[in-house]
Structure 1
Amino acid sequence: MTTTQQPSLAWLDDVTMTELERNPYPVYERLRAEAPLAFVPVLGAYVASTAEICREVATSDSFEAIIPPAGGRTFGHPAIIGVNGDVHADLRSMVEPALQPMEVDRYVDDLVRPIARTYLEKFEDAGKAELVADFCEPVSVRSLGDLLGLESVDSETLRRWFAQLNRSFTNAAVDENGEFANPEGFVEGDQAKAEIRAVVDPLIDEWITNPGDSAISHWLHDGMPEGETRDRDYIYPTIYVYLLGAMQEPGHGAASTLAGLFTKPEQLEEVVDDPTLIPRAVSEGMRWTSPIWSATARISKEPVTLAGHDLPAGTVILQSYGSANHDTGLYDAPSEFDLHRPPLPHLAFGAGNHACAGIYYANHVMRIALEELLEAIPNLERDTSEDVEFWGWGFRGPTTLHATWEV
């Protein structure tokens, strides 16, 4: 009788957060091959790296949502991404009305298209731009900021807030005792939250007595008994979730789609010639570099066997959707952007009852932004004198994306 030698996982002891933030793909490729479910010491949790396991955890009744420790330290409680039962149902009922397809169809074009055009007018005659800072992120944050009722906050401040919250949320490294390895990494997130409250508290004061049509005003009032509102401390964690994840996702999804198309100039040309291909390009861009890369988690409610592991109740599993979307069991050459890839479902928006509530909204923000960009600048090319660098493990996207065109 022969036995199969199991690979040693001692190499996981040497994995660092810096490595994961700069380029998580090699680590996760090896995890998918050797240990699709494995405890990663620097993260202090099990990691699910394949599509099959991620989907099973997301949809199993044996698991419920939990916010990763660094996320909980950043957002507080109850954040919509980390609660269950009646609280989760209430928070979903609070945010979902504005994100339903029929409602999004009513407002999204009038909201996003003028914003995209405003930013395009600033650089379309310049012959060059850095598309993350000049277009993709500003369109994303301005659109959602206005929807939330934060018209008074300039776009650069919104971008800074989500960047500070992002770095705080993904300050996930722990030491051998399970304590945060870099507690100072949460300071800038705390500073952002203090600024947010200084701006939003007066708006909430006004909306409590004079309800408006902003999303946050509706969060305060909708579904509440006459004369009552939700407590501001109850909704603030979800406001922070929006100011990070919901602002980051469309901006970085659009930027990643462009970065992917730049790797296949002939496919970029196809999309320019036929804008109806933009939604397909966006879907592939979200798979290729998932903006919410590894920012969600589940905890086992009971002892469970998963991927050959007997796990006790209370086991935390980080769902690495960015890794699942590169699963060679589903996708051929997953590290390549391919507009013509068979349209298999991806996990960029999660799965189960905690799947992203803003799927429809985010897809349309990206579609409209890219429609406007490629119509205004159909001869867009990547500036090959500048590198394209990506950053992030929890949330991921290009840090810069330089482009040129003939004017």
Structure 2
Amino acid sequence: MNDPVTFDVTNPLFKANPHDFYTRLRESGPAHLVHLPGYGDIWLVTGYADARAALADPDLSKAPANVPASLRKSMMEAGGQDNFQLMAHMLNSDPPDHTRLRKLVVRAFTARRVRELRPRIQEITDALLDEVVEKGSADLIDALAFPLPITVICELLGVPVSDRDDFRRWTSILVSEDEELLPQLQDSFEQLNAYMSDLVRRKHTEPDDGLLSALVAVAEDGDSLSDDEVVWMAFLLLVAGHETTVNLIGNGALALMSNPDQLAKLRADESLLPAAVEEMLRYDGPVETATWRFTTSPVTIGNVVIPADQSLLVVLASANRDPSRFADPGGFDISREDNQHVAFGHGIHYCLGAPLARLEGQIAISSLLRRLPDLELDVAGEDLAWRLGVVMRGLQNLPVRFTPGSRSH
């Protein structure tokens, strides 16, 4: 048996264009054993139908207790640590625990709560663009894509403005796979955990109309969330919800600027905005692979049997460019119909924050088109740097230029 091919997510050239690699895998079979530096040998699922099946497969576990010993050993040998135990939240759980947690959280994180955020998200977006519109150039990641969702999440949770710089630093370290930041991971986790634990305790005696207070108060059939469970839910919102929206805005803006015909089409007809955001999610979505899954018994993917005690990643970026599901999958088409992508996952772990991410993405892109009418890249596309790592797909920076305008909006 040949040695597994290397899945090198720490290689900048690979992260700049992983799609050729995924195409080769997808064309050669439904599941592939690869070598992921720092993690050992793992399985990748790359096709659309197989990805949806795996994402909904109850025989694939997400619980930290089921992390294979080989994966823990590889991470420790690479100088890392067992990060799975740092994130014991709803996303990393199986039924019946997951069923109970999601049922309670859904009662607090309602569609109505998200809809009511629209005016405030627009206000935050306008204020951020006010800071750059007269300058003629900006880094869209620093100017808009990063501060917008962190401000929204902090306001949603009731985090004071004075503490948000700390939040940005902690969450950036927690999602980074930069080896230089690894020594700060445990400390950042402990500081954020201590801060959130204190904030949750205060919401018991000083409740407000924020989501954190709603999570503290939510109850059904005599059940409620413990303070630790509320803290973990806040972690999930901060890390998963915030980072995905950063990447949605950055990747989406890049896709538009790289496809001038589609940018012109959207400028001419803003009713295409919802479909455009869905195409951004499919074409170059914010999450490259779904979070880790583990086999506790043999699992069949297509015609491949994956043994027990194996680690598996579903490659959303590959599934969303599968030609058996999408016509011209490598093309960016904002009027694409029947765009049933898996950018937010599938099955019981489908992203709870998808409506909020969509809302922020639509408001951000719409505001960019309105406020910066001749927006274009200020660097060659091949010179853009992508963040390294397994799960997330996002730009380190996105330099743009435009004709300076007015702060009025």
- One fold, TM greater than 0.5? yes
Distance 1:77 1:225, change over 3 A: farther
- CA displacement at 1:153 relative to structure 2: 4.8
Equivalent residue, structure 2, for 1:260: 255
Residue type at the aligned position of 2:373: P
- Larger deviation, residues 128-137 vs 88-97: 88-97
What is the distance in 1 between the residues matched to 2:56 and 2:380? 45
CA distance in 2, matches of 1:390, 1:23: 10
Residue 88 of structure 1 is matched in structure 2 by 98
Secondary structure of the residue aligned to 1:40 is strand
Q: How does 1:287-366 map to 2 (within 5 A)?
A: 287-366=282-361
Counterpart among 44, 48, 55 of residue 52 in structure 2: 55
TM-score for the superposition, normalised by structure 1: 0.85
Distance in 1, Cα, partners of 2:277 & 2:257:
13
2:27 aligned partner: 33
Q: Is the 8 A contact 1:99 1:361 kept in 2?
A: no
**Which amino acid in structure 2 is aligned with residue 217 of structure 1?**
S
1:104 matched to 2:114? The reply is: yes
In structure 2, the partner of 1:241 is 236
Verify the 8 A CA contact 1:74 1:190 in the aligned structure 2: no
Distance change in 2, residues 1:281/1:151 (3 Å): farther
- Aligned pairs for 1:129-148 within 5 A: 129-148=138-157
Q: C-alpha separation between the residues in 1 aligned to 2:16 and 2:85?
A: 24
After TM superposition, the structure 1 = structure 2 runs for residues 121-160 of structure 1, keeping only pairs within 5 Å, are: 121-153=130-162, 155-160=164-169
Q: CA deviation at 1:198?
A: 4.0
> Unpaired segments of 5 or more residues in structure 1?
1-7, 172-181
The Cα of 1:111 is off from its aligned counterpart by 2.5
Of residues 195, 200, 203 in structure 2, which corresponds to 1:204?
200
Root-mean-square deviation (Å): 2.7
Cα 1:185–1:299 shift into 2, 3 Å: same
User: Does structure 1 residue 10 correspond to structure 2 residue 3?
Assistant: yes
Aligned mates of 1:154, 1:125 — CA distance in 2: 28
Deviation, 1:45, is: 1.9
Q: Structure 2: 5+ residue runs without aligned partners?
A: 76-80, 405-409
Query: What amino acid is aligned across from residue 92 of structure 2 in structure 1?
Result: G
**Helix, strand or coil at the partner of 1:10:** coil
Q: Give 3-state SS (helix, strand or coil) of 1:45's partner.
A: strand
* CA deviation after TM superposition for structure 1 residue 229, in Å: 6.5
1:195 aligns with 2:187: no
After superposition, what is the alpha-carbon deviation per residue over 1:135-180, rounded to whole angstroms, capped at 9, x for unaligned? Answer: 1111111111110111335554433333211115xx7xxxxxxxxx
How much does 1:72 deviate? 6.3
1:121: Cα distance to partner?
0.9
1:22–1:374 CA distance, 2 compared to 1 (3 A):
closer
> Matched residue pairs, number?
384
- Offset at residue 84 of structure 1 (A): 1.4
> 1:129 and 1:154, CA in 2 relative to 1: closer, same or farther beyond 3 A?
farther
Quote the Cα distance in structure 1 between the aligned partners of 2:164 and 2:261.
33
Q: How far apart are the structure 2 equivalents of 1:53 and 1:373?
A: 37
What is the alpha-carbon distance in structure 1 between the residues aligned to residue 369 and residue 85 of structure 2? 36
**In structure 2, what is the equivalent of residue 394 of structure 1?**
391
Q: Secondary structure at the match of 2:342?
A: coil
The answer (yes or no) to whether the contact 2:296–2:308 under 8 Å persists in 1 is yes
| Cα gap change, 1:15 to 1:334, in 2 (>3 Å) | same
Contact map agreement 1:64 1:299 (CA 8 A) in 2: yes
CA distance in 1, matches of 2:301, 2:397: 39
Q: Cα distance 1:313–1:167, how it changes in 2: closer, same or farther (>3 A)? A: same
Distance 1:34 1:205 in 2: 53
Q: Report the CA distance shift for 1:202/1:299 in structure 2 as closer, same or farther (over 3 A).
A: closer
% of aligned pairs identical?
A: 23
TM-score (norm 2): 0.84
